[in-house]
């Protein structure tokens, strides 16, 4: 049986340069109808264009997205689609740039980071995001997917409470009643896999003081006075208590930040018992806590405090409180690192979207 050809003349709006500028293009061509068969159409598209979005999702989260855009532009110029319609339907470069244009509008919101964190701090949303990263789902299909994990929701609830918030912060998109993760959403999903408890340890619907403090503690311990300059003093105590309760930060034991120092008084003017002198000689110039002193001298805490009281009475030692410092636990370090990387991905994506916008302005 011979192959059938069809002469076609199309007038289409074709973004030929993928820069947001549309041009009316009249195209006449003769095409083999067998090329329009879905299986052959997909094969050609995959061979010529490749799934570049998957390359980004599966790559290093810290890779330069701007460099990737330049690579994709070069690939696009070398592409030879069988028709403009083929390019519009299957061009991954166009899809990525389109995502970045929409993301830029979303990220211009001054509260974007707070909104993004609050959307992510929901176990059901993260479950949906993990599903649509791997394929397109209708609301009905997502309803069945959620049932597998014991989550029973109406389709309206899935749409309003879970899908809409994901789309509002640029993590998901919808086409023909099917939902899928954006490239940006895919990158964040991969990152959050490094800390599965993300939605459990941080409070939902918050001002994100906890996230701000955790990221700040990556640079080292902070005193309460330091922390009051980072977050509102009115909530600092409550935030610290909440982070301690979930094992993300820690402070020294109560006695470990009370230090004993030698005074300038000459010890030779006092009569010291042998053990009392040993305690005195074990106090370094920079001071020492009672717990460390007891360990160094081999005395019990009770006897250590007894001799320290005696030395203090003879004005040979004095007490100084060192400010209590708050530091990250191992678990807190992991979460803070994830938050920091998440912030970096947002900043990188914002910068890359600027390249796309600038390309539009210069075209």
Neighbours of 71 (CB within 10 A): 14
Residue of 68 and 50 predicted with greater confidence? 68
Residue of 362 and 120 predicted with greater confidence? 120
| Banded pLDDT at 255 (limits 50, 70, 90) | low
What mean pLDDT, rounded, does the chain reach? 81
Q: How far is CA 175 from CA 141, 145, 172, 179, 182, in A?
A: 15, 19, 10, 7, 12
Give every CB contact of residue 363 below 8 A, 6+ residues apart in sequence.
Answer: 17, 19, 20, 21
- Does the pLDDT of residue 47 top 50, yes or no? no
CA dihedral 229, 234, 235, 237 (to 10 degrees): 80
Element housing 109 (H / E) = none
User: What's the pLDDT at 163?
Assistant: 97
Top CATH class of 111-201+343-362 equals: mainly alpha
Top CATH class of 254-323 equals: mainly alpha
* Rounded CA separation 186/77 (Å): 26
Q: How far is CA 122 from CA 117, 162, 167, 332, in A?
A: 9, 9, 14, 19
Flag the least confident range among 115-124, 179-188, 318-327: 318-327
- Does the pLDDT of residue 44 top 60, yes or no? no
pLDDT digits (tens, 9 = 90+) for 59-95: 444 345 666 666 666 666 676 666 666 665 666 677 7
Same fold, 111-201+343-362 and 254-323: yes
pLDDT digits (tens, 9 = 90+) for 117-166: 999 999 999 999 999 999 999 999 999 999 999 999 999 999 999 999 99
**Is 69 in contact with 96 (CB distance < 8 Å)?**
yes
pTM for this structure? 0.67
| Banded pLDDT at 16 (limits 50, 70, 90) | very low
User: What's the pLDDT at 249?
Assistant: 96
- Does the pLDDT of residue 37 top 60, yes or no? no
Q: Where are the domains of the chain?
A: 5-103, 111-201+343-362, 209-249+329-340, 254-323
Residue of 177 and 34 predicted with greater confidence? 177
pLDDT, average across residues 236-264: 86
User: What's the pLDDT at 34?
Assistant: 40
User: What's the pLDDT at 90?
Assistant: 65
| Banded pLDDT at 352 (limits 50, 70, 90) | confident
3-state secondary structure of 99: helix
Q: Please report, rounded to a whole number, the percentage of residues in the chain having pLDDT higher than 70.
A: 71
| Banded pLDDT at 261 (limits 50, 70, 90) | very high
Flag the least confident range among 17-26, 152-161, 195-204: 17-26
- Does the pLDDT of residue 328 top 50, yes or no? yes
Residue count of the chain, please give it.
363
Residue of 36 and 146 predicted with greater confidence? 146
CA dihedral 75, 77, 81, 84 (to 10 degrees): 130
Q: Which of 76, 155, 37 is nearest to 359 (CA)?
A: 76
| Banded pLDDT at 222 (limits 50, 70, 90) | very high
pLDDT, average across residues 23-51: 41
| Banded pLDDT at 324 (limits 50, 70, 90) | confident
- Does the pLDDT of residue 298 top 60, yes or no? yes
**Is 352 in contact with 109 (CB distance < 8 Å)?**
no
- Does the pLDDT of residue 43 top 50, yes or no? no
pLDDT, average across residues 204-229: 94
């Amino acid at each position: 049986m011979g192959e059938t050809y069809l002469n076609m003349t199309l007038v289409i709006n074709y973004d030929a340069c993928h820069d947001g500028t549309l041009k009316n293009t009249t195209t006449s061509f003769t095409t083999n109808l067998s090329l329009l068969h879905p299986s052959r159409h997909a094969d050609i598209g995959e061979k010529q264009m490749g799934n570049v979005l998957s390359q980004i999702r599966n790559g290093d989260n810290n890779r330069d997205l701007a460099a990737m855009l330049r690579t994709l532009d070069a690939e696009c110029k070398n592409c030879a689609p069988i028709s403009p319609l083929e390019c519009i339907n299957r061009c991954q470069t166009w899809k990525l740039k389109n995502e970045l244009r929409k993301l830029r509008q979303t990220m211009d919101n001054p509260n974007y980071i707070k909104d993004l964190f609050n959307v992510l701090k929901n176990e059901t949303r993260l479950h949906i995001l993990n599903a649509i990263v791997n394929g397109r789902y209708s609301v009905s299909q997502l309803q069945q997917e959620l049932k597998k994990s014991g989550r029973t929701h109406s389709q309206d609830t899935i749409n309003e409470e879970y899908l809409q918030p994901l789309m509002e912060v640029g993590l998901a998109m919808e086409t023909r009643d099917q939902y899928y993760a954006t490239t940006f959403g895919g990158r964040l999903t991969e990152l959050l896999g490094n800390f599965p408890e993300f939605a459990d340890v941080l409070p939902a619907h918050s001002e994100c003081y906890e996230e701000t403090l955790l990221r700040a503690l990556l640079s080292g311990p902070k005193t309460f006075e330091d922390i009051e300059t980072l977050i509102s003093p009115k909530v600092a105590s409550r935030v610290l208590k909440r982070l301690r309760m979930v094992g993300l930060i820690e402070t020294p034991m109560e006695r470990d930040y009370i230090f004993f120092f030698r005074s300038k008084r000459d010890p030779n003017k006092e009569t010291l018992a042998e053990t009392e002198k040993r305690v005195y000689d074990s106090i370094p110039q920079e001071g020492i806590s009672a717990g460390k002193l007891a360990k160094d001298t081999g005395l019990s805490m009770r006897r250590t405090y007894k001799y320290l009281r005696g030395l203090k009475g003879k004005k040979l030692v004095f007490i100084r409180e060192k400010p209590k410092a708050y530091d990250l636990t191992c678990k807190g370090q992991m979460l803070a690192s994830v938050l920091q990387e998440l912030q970096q991905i947002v900043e990188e994506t914002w910068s890359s979207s600027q390249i796309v916008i600038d390309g539009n302005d210069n075209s």
